[in-house]
Structure formats: structure tokens, C-alpha cells
């Protein structure tokens, strides 16, 4: 028998919700590729697994960057998702963007430390324990990452889970705990090109080199179940700084995925919060607006578990539920997690971490 009791938000939850609405919302995000240069060659790299990055020259280093982000602010953008290939190689663009957009997150491999002039959240990608990380990325980078970001309040280390590294979740968590680093999780989501390559239907290159049909990165239901259980244990371990939630943990590890339904006659997810619109845009490195479906158009929607995109979708669905009083507490919890991961405002981060 279902309980008729409605879960009420706590006083702290309601204080957080008021602060968020008064100080940050609406965020009005957009997404920016800042350069096609990279200093790693990661297996199955999403950026280099399609052709949409071709034909775009990096934006000039002069006044054009300033004018572009000023125009973005003028059209109402207040949050930037900054990627590359590798955005730490063009940090001057991040400094310029920060003069115009108050909030943002930078997705980086962590080899080069991003200047303190950049106030945004910094998400540092990790691909497993030290040996696996080196094998999949072509270089030993973890010591550099830790040295660059130990003690940096902007930084969150993001472990990309794949079929090869599920048993290394504890190792990565221990490394982060030993160095006072926050940790969260991404999920490798294969591109069409990667899927063809592992089946022997497409040529290899420097980004598609060491995978095969028998040994690849694709997460199967057994991997999802093991990852769910390992992360659940870590969230209950007070020695780890894991930024996650049990609700999101259940949603993202459901074998059915977040996008079981596609738009009629297409391969595009029917209920995805990061599909490009006139407001939510994705810009190529020359600052031309992308005409693709989303910022990672090479990924099959049905297998997409990419964390920034997934959080946006889960958050959008939870926010729609605010119309139902019984869902308010759950929606606020989801916003807390998102803020802890993606918001660079210290005051709101403090509210988001309140008990």
C-alpha cells in the first residue's frame, strides 16, 4: 500500500532553494569549443570521433573573442560549458569569457593548471587507475593532475567509467581522498565511429587504436550494476568526497538508459535537455553555431550517459515536477547536487552543501 504522506523539504532545503532562485536562476547556458588542439590521444575520444570539428579554424586571439562573449552576455547567456578538445591550451579565452559570463565549468584533462584568473568550476577527467589511465590516454598524467589541483576549491575530478575500469573505482576514490579532491563520475558513451571500429567495420586512427569487439570500453548491464554498487558504497564512506546522489546513481545505471524514446522517424532522444535550440547553442572553435542535434552529436542517444548532459536532463525532469508538491523535496535534492558540481559561486556552493 502506497503511503499518502508527502515528503516535505527541510528548512535548509527551502533556504537553499530561495538562494538559488534569487541569485542564480535562470542560468541560460550555452556550450563552447575553444580549440581543436589537444595534448593527449584518448581512446575513443568523443571530440575526434566524428567530422563535425573539421573545417573550423580556432577563433582569433584578438578582439574577436572579447566581442563574441560580450555578444553572448547581451543575448542573455549566464552559464558556459567550456571544452575543447583541450581548453587549458587557450586559457586567455577563458579569462575573457569570465569577464562576461558569471558562471561556468571547464572540462579539462588537467595536464596544465588553469589560472586562478578563471573563476569557473574545473572538471578534471580521469580514465581509471594509474595504469589504465595511461593505457587509454597515451600518457602518464595523474601525478600532474593531482599536483595542479590539490587543494583547489574549483576542482572536481571526474572518473569516466568504462568496461575496463569498474574494479578501479576504489583506487581512484582513494587517490582523490588522499589528496583532498572531490570526485564524481562520468560514463563512457560510444560514438557511432567507435562502435563501427570495435566491430571491425571502420578504420583505426590515433583515437581508435586499442579496442576490439572482445575488449572495449562499452558499458554492458553487468558493468552498470557493479558501478552502481561500488559508488553507493563510496557515498556512504565519510572519508571520500564523492559528489553524487543515490537517486542519480539509480537513474544513470538503469540499463534502459535515460532516453528510451526517440523522436518519430529519427535517432534523436525525445526528452533530452541539451538538444540545441535558438537559446541553447553549441559553438565551434571559430564561434560559428553548430547545426547538429547537441554538443556531442556523434554519440547514439540511446547509449548516452555523459554526465553533464545527463544531469541537465535529470534536473529538467525534476524541475518540471515542481508543479507537484510531493516532488519538491526530490527536485531540490537534485539541484543541490548539480550546484555542488557545476556552480562556481562560493556562497551558493556553501548553501548547496548544507545538511
pLDDT in tens, 20-30: 888 888 999 99
Buried b (16+ CB within 10 A) or exposed e, 272-288: bbbbbeeebbbbbbebe
**What would the pLDDT profile of 80-119 be if each residue is shown by its tens digit?**
999 999 999 999 999 999 999 999 999 999 999 999 999 9
Residue 116 in contact with residue 149, Cβ under 8 Å? no
What is the structure's pLDDT at 2? 44
Q: Rounded CA gap, 182 and 94, in Å?
A: 22
- Residue 26, preceding peptide bond in cis (omega within 30° of 0): yes
Average pLDDT, the chain: 91
What is the structure's pLDDT at 112? 96
What is the structure's pLDDT at 23? 85
**What would the pLDDT profile of 227-244 be if each residue is shown by its tens digit?**
999 999 999 998 899 999
More confident call, 13 vs 322: 13
Q: Quick one: CA dihedral 45, 47, 50, 54, positive or negative? A: negative
What is the structure's pLDDT at 77? 97
Q: Rounded CA gap, 226 and 104, in Å?
A: 32
As a whole number, mean pLDDT of residues 194-220 equals 93
Enter the C-alpha cell of residue 64. Answer: 574577436
Residue 82 in contact with residue 106, Cβ under 8 Å? yes
**What would the pLDDT profile of 153-176 be if each residue is shown by its tens digit?**
999 999 999 999 999 999 999 999
Residue 349 has pLDDT above 80, yes or no: no
More confident call, 203 vs 346: 203
What is the structure's pLDDT at 331? 87
Cα–Cα–Cα angle for 316, 318, 324, rounded to 5 degrees:
125
What is the structure's pLDDT at 347? 56
The helix/strand/coil state of 165 is coil
What is the structure's pLDDT at 59? 87
Task: Please tell me the chain's helix, strand, coil percentages from 3-state DSSP, rounded to the nearest 5.
Answer: 40, 15, 50
pTM score, whole prediction: 0.94
**What would the pLDDT profile of 38-86 be if each residue is shown by its tens digit?**
999 999 999 998 778 888 889 877 789 999 999 999 999 999 999 999 9
Amino acid at each position: 500500500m502506497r503511503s499518502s504522506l508527502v515528503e516535505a523539504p527541510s528548512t535548509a532545503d527551502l533556504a537553499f532553494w530561495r538562494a538559488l532562485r534569487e541569485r542564480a536562476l535562470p542560468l541560460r547556458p550555452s556550450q563552447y569549443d575553444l580549440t581543436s588542439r589537444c595534448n593527449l590521444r584518448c581512446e575513443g575520444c568523443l571530440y575526434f570521433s566524428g567530422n563535425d570539428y573539421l573545417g573550423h579554424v580556432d577563433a582569433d586571439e584578438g578582439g574577436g573573442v572579447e566581442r563574441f562573449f560580450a555578444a553572448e552576455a547581451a543575448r542573455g547567456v549566464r552559464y558556459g560549458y567550456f571544452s575543447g578538445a583541450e581548453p587549458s591550451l587557450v586559457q586567455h579565452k577563458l579569462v575573457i569569457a569570465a569577464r562576461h559570463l558569471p558562471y561556468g565549468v571547464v572540462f579539462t584533462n588537467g595536464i596544465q593548471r588553469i589560472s586562478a584568473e578563471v573563476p569557473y568550476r574545473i572538471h578534471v577527467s580521469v580514465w581509471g587507475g594509474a595504469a589504465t589511465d595511461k593505457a587509454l590516454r597515451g600518457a602518464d598524467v595523474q601525478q600532474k593532475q593531482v599536483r595542479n589541483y590539490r587543494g583547489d576549491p574549483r576542482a572536481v575530478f571526474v572518473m569516466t567509467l568504462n568496461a575496463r575500469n569498474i574494479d578501479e573505482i576504489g583506487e581512484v576514490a582513494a587517490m582523490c581522498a588522499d589528496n583532498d579532491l572531490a570526485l564524481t563520475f562520468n560514463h563512457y558513451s560510444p560514438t557511432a565511429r567507435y562502435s563501427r571500429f570495435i566491430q571491425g567495420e571502420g578504420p583505426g586512427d590515433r583515437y581508435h587504436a586499442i579496442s576490439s569487439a572482445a575488449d572495449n570500453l562499452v558499458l554492458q548491464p553487468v558493468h552498470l550494476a557493479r558501478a552502481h554498487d561500488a559508488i553507493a558504497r563510496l557515498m556512504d564512506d565519510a572519508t571520500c568526497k564523492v559528489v553524487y546522489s543515490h537517486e542519480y546513481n539509480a537513474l544513470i545505471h538503469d540499463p534502459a538508459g535515460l532516453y528510451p524514446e526517440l523522436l518519430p522517424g529519427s535517432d534523436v532522444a525525445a526528452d533530452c535537455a541539451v538538444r540545441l535550440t535558438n537559446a541553447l547553442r553549441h559553438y565551434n572553435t571559430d564561434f560559428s553555431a553548430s547545426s547538429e542535434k547537441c554538443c556531442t552529436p556523434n554519440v547514439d542517444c540511446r547509449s548516452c550517459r555523459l554526465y553533464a548532459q545527463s544531469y541537465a536532463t535529470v534536473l529538467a525532469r525534476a524541475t518540471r515536477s515542481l508543479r507537484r508538491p510531493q516532488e519538491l523535496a526530490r527536485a531540490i535534492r537534485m539541484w543541490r547536487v548539480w550546484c555542488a558540481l557545476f556552480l562556481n559561486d562560493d556562497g551558493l556552493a556553501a548553501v548547496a552543501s548544507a545538511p
